[in-house]
Structure 1
């Protein structure tokens, strides 16, 4: 794949002008692409970064690792110009950054970020998004024809077969990410930061991104890559840098370390393979906590299974298999079209979220930010919201009792927060997920449904969540867990129900399952069980 070379040629092609080219740092001076020295960032009494120093070599892919809360997000925000450091310096190709803003970091220094939350204009075309801010023609009347032609040339240089005229809204998430990358290149990006870019992608979509990254690297683009997924880190990274508790603790060439060593540096201790504790089959003599018969709804039809107390039943399937829609149907978020559900021994016919809470059916959704978090509320209110009625009298909440209950629940789940009153959005992804889980456990559920329980969660938080789920199952809670991460299902569950094209094709004992056998069922390569 041949992308335009970095430097003035790219900026001239993008239409940023000679002035921008002349002002850009010299990429051929032998200096690191990015060098941070003594970097610190304080938020009141909280020190998010402390004296961090390391280099990002030019023309390479550097992986930045660390648990949620290690300081990665704070560092990325500084490098993207979203906030200045409290102390320390950042240099880009040997030139010290003196003004931090997204436009300055991109236009002056060529540093761009592909964030987890993509910032695109969904109703505009690919061309309008790619060339946003560098449109050809008059500023007030850009040339549509030139925009399409220039975008087509840029996409071809990136080996992306994509129609510049289609609206971004019509594209899948993986392709939208590629549009953000193309937009960065169009603006003269020389250093590309990617923050958890594969968190929402299928393996095939992720591989498509990796191919693009390989091409960009070959063309001279420097990349700083953040991910919790060790296989892709060791597939891509020339260099690995590790943060822990706001400090820089380790640095290696990718070929000189192992995933186990990197994980140990991240968490500050050896962390072995996740193993199911006291795994056992549910007692068939105990009535099911959840019985589903011929359930149908959006993207699923005729699904039947049971989950018994003390059992963790997994749900596997490709993104279009209907497994996520099945969970929403069970909880009452989506309207079903047929079938029956029996919850804790009683028929559950008119399902809706309020009734599910009252009947102790808990649901931790996969889209944490969009569906799980109350983003304008505090940590304490997020944890305690479902039990507020317990502490209410005449419409007024007894805040003291409410806050104590929420704080205790957060303590049990080991949610790391300075205070229960700080915004939930200020927490790391792993602590946000534990807070959402704590909210649902506060209703003392009889059945717990989880979708992607550790998406965007680091290995340390993942271990804590697994430990909680094992303990809950050990106390007799029935758990239904859907995940696109097959190793996770093979670790967590007793049995796995496999969905394909809206149908449940088989339910297999986890002890007898492999990633290959599950994928064979999920892709329809195997005949459904009789």
Structure 2
């Protein structure tokens, strides 16, 4: 695999004299957590005024590197320099005030009950900081937003903004503090295509103004549309560097996973779709189900079938799944499991009925963030390993470890905190938790959000294997290529109603979006 060599410091050439020095110089960077080596001797440069994509599988060391660059943790060895000035003190405030570096994290830190202007200018308010002029703050915010090409009401409470606009507020806040290097960590993971386009337009403006952007994403089309430079980490090491126009997605993926990733055969191509016998009892049947943001939804799901759920963010997809599982109370309709009415739905009752639900918001709704990897995986099996009020710890840990290995969860030990794992490995651990109850029905929301291409392929293969064993799978996703890859049929919701169920083999992204936007509906 061809890679670009690191810059040679042996002597200047004409081309080097004409090329501006890098915005960021990383040399020999390492970081250890006890015996675990998260980064090892990482070296590369980030060109000034460009977009550099930082890529790698979950667990490759990207998050650790970003935390170092943002000053959230120091390295164990090596050095980082911004604009030829080496960092000697690692803290977010030092990075911003002394090196003009800021990060837009996946979990946004905003004052939700304060206004847009109060968030953007927090700490740099005009006038007296104890009694800042609200009028002056609004005027300065308007000027900054105009400069960035953003139309946001500076007087609006941030809580009332959608996720995409909140993200833009974080970017504007960084620019207001003189940021020259902006790090964006998976910024489009929770955005619609239209919302992503707003972010991309802002990135183009920032780049044109000379801001250096470091961009982390698992979405190859985005990377090749936005990036000038691509840097790849694998297993904590820097393994490849390219100009974006001198490589291909296939080369980049091979560098990320350390091998050529074979093309995954879709469900439609494999011919694996089960054909239920006439009069066969469905594993789960939904009839006229209604609740928050959804109404009168009906469909059936048979053993071994994978049914996708598509729709815009406000279509009621998530609320419908929560209603089925019993996480929220519905207002009408019925759920039947194996021909038996399922009444009084609650999460505990669903677990006993072997109805599993992997939520899309893993950090807010799924992870037991203060517990270990093993405890997260085995959380639903504690009763099975408890005797006379005491947990048989060795057997419990053995079971959790076997599930972690089966799903290829990358962890030095299952005793380490779940928060130490990458997003993709956290997702696989959560999937392992629910598979431990041996479900008849597996309900998933955004199963591969924030997951790298290698882990995504592994999750797909796991879902196919479960379907082959007869598990009925209901999968909601905002990623239409994902639904077209892994499903047999796709149910499309629009404004809380089921507007069509289409065969995946004949569906396209355009046909699904036509239904989702309410342009046309088909009989289910």
TM range (shorter): over 0.9
Q: Which runs of 4+ in 1 moved over 4 A?
A: none
Q: Name 1:433's counterpart in structure 2.
A: 427
Task: Specify whether residues 339 and 387 from structure 1 end up closer, same or farther in structure 2 by C-alpha distance, changes over 3 A only.
Answer: same
Provide, for residues 301-348 of structure 1, a one-character-per-residue CA deviation record: whole Å limited to 9, x for no partner: 111101100110100111111111110000001111111110122110
Provide, for residues 354-403 of structure 1, a one-character-per-residue CA deviation record: whole Å limited to 9, x for no partner: 10001100000000100111111110110001010111123221212111
Q: Distance in 2 between matches of 1:45 and 1:401?
A: 25
Does residue 194 of the first structure (1) align with residue 188 of the second (2)? no
1:63-462 matched pairs, under 5 angstroms: 63-276=53-266, 278-285=270-277, 286-462=280-456
Q: Is the 8 A contact 1:36 1:89 kept in 2?
A: yes
Q: Distance in 2 between matches of 1:315 and 1:274?
A: 21
Q: Distance in 2 between matches of 1:355 and 1:348?
A: 9
Q: CA deviation at 1:276?
A: 2.6
Q: Name 1:21's counterpart in structure 2.
A: none
Does residue 51 of the first structure (1) align with residue 38 of the second (2)? no
Aligned residue pairs: how many?
Answer: 503
Q: Name 1:23's counterpart in structure 2.
A: none
Q: Is the 8 A contact 2:501 2:522 kept in 1?
A: no
Q: Distance in 2 between matches of 1:30 and 1:281?
A: 57
Q: Is the 8 A contact 1:130 1:186 kept in 2?
A: yes
TM-score (norm 2): 0.94
Task: Specify whether residues 241 and 343 from structure 1 end up closer, same or farther in structure 2 by C-alpha distance, changes over 3 A only.
Answer: same
Q: Distance in 1 between matches of 2:69 and 2:271?
A: 45
Q: CA deviation at 1:29?
A: 9.9
Q: Name 2:522's counterpart in structure 1.
A: 528
Q: Distance in 2 between matches of 1:238 and 1:479?
A: 40
Q: Distance in 1 between matches of 2:492 and 2:483?
A: 11
Q: Is the 8 A contact 2:500 2:521 kept in 1?
A: no
In structure 2, stretches of 5+ residues that fail to align are 1-17
Q: 2:491 aligns with which of 489, 497, 503?
A: 497
* TM-align CA RMSD: 1.2
Q: CA deviation at 1:30?
A: 2.8
Q: CA deviation at 1:274?
A: 2.4
Q: Secondary structure at the match of 2:382?
A: helix
Q: CA deviation at 1:85?
A: 1.0
Q: Is the 8 A contact 1:344 1:446 kept in 2?
A: no
Q: CA deviation at 1:280?
A: 2.7
Q: Distance in 2 between matches of 1:31 and 1:71?
A: 25
TM-score (norm 1): 0.93
Q: Is the 8 A contact 2:374 2:400 kept in 1?
A: yes
